A and B are shown apart, each in its own frame.
Chain A
Amino acid sequence: MDGDFDEFLHVPARLTIVALLAPASWTEFGFIRDAIGTSDSALSKQLSALAAQGYVEVRKQPGTGARRTLARLTPHGREAFGAHAAALERIAAAARAPHPVD
């Protein structure tokens, strides 16, 4: 297996969350939940796991009404995601590479 392949990140729910966060600086909790079609508690669990690994940062946006929860990739998480995506590219490219003749 490729050295940059991240087993923790490759869990589908986590990879989906990280892929949604990657193009943004901050992403709203409600948007992530609706985009992946999960429940508040399931998303909270995955975000907590990602935050515990230092991949994601979660914060509450102060306001007058209901407080919004926002999440973003940390620099460490962004780096790990980039490396993981690059590992996936290499694995996918291996299928296209010519096989040596025995």
Chain B
Amino acid sequence: MTPDDARAALDDIQRRHEQSRAAEARHGFSPFYLGVLALIVLVSYASYDLPNPWNGAMLFPVVALVALLVIAYVRRAPVLRKPGSGELLVGVAAGILLAAVIKGLATAIGTAGMPTPHLIAAAAGAVVCLLAARPICRGADALARLAGRRS
């Protein structure tokens, strides 16, 4: 075993790691999952425009939809990986930020006197999900790799 052979083996190991990560990302960011995620955001927040007692009632079927989505993901994914604590933290922070932005936007639209403020804000939130999900998760993955290299 020469140093060059060892370096070639290490390069191949690195390439295979990337191959696994890319397969996981390809599956997670497929149009199906991103579309359902955007639909979940749209439907759950838009339902707040409905009159009582239906105000926010869509949250319950949405929880069931999320559960089905998770089951479908686990059963179809070519590569399954438990997210690290850093990735979970980024995910929770992004969720809270999105909820705050949608709520703030809905309040602003409502104050301006426009009808269905939650529907408009939720539609904007859904578009943000479609556009931002991939970069956010790439950032979380980069953070996880950085943490892995430091440990």
A contact face: mostly helix, strand, loop, or mixed: helix
Contact residues in B for A21 (Cβ distance below 8 Å):
20
* A5 and B1 form a contact (CB under 8 A): yes
Given A92-B10, A95-B4, verify A16-B16 contact (CB < 8 Å): yes
Contact A16:B1 (CB < 8 A) given known A22-B17, A27-B20, A30-B78 = no
A26 touches which of B2, B5, B80 (Cβ 8 Å): B80
- Contact between A89 and B23, CB atoms less than 8 A apart: no
Total A-B residue pairs with C-beta atoms closer than 8 Å? 80
Q: How far is the CA of A94 from the CA of B6 in the complex (A)?
A: 10
In the bound complex, CA of A22 to CA of B79 (Å) = 11
Interface size of A in residues (CB-CB distance below 8 Å): 32
A31 contact set on B, CB distance < 8 A = 23, 78-79
Within 8 A of A (CB), among B22-43: 23-24
Mostly helix, strand, loop or mixed at chain B's interface? helix
- A1-35 at interface with B (beta carbon < 8 Å): 1, 5, 10, 12, 15-16, 19-28, 30-31, 35
Are A24 and B10 within 8 A (Cβ)?
no
Contact of A20 among B5, B10, B19, B82 (CB under 8 A): B19
Cβ A23 vs Cβ B20 within 8 A: yes
Cβ-defined contact, B17 with A27, below 8 A: no
Q: What's the tally of chain B residues with a CB closer than 8 Å to chain A?
A: 25
Cβ of B134 under 8 Å from chain A: no
Q: Would B75 and A63 count as touching, CB distance under 8 A?
A: yes
A contact residues around B13 at 8 Å (CB):
15, 19, 22, 85, 88
Q: Are A1 and B1 in contact (CB under 8 A)?
A: yes
Contacts known (A16-B12, A31-B23, A35-B16); A23 close to B78, Cβ less than 8 A:
no
Q: How far is the CA of A96 from the CA of B81 in the complex (A)?
A: 35
Residue ranges of B at the interface with A (Cβ–Cβ < 8 Å): 1-7, 9-10, 12-13, 16-17, 19-21, 23-24, 75, 77-82
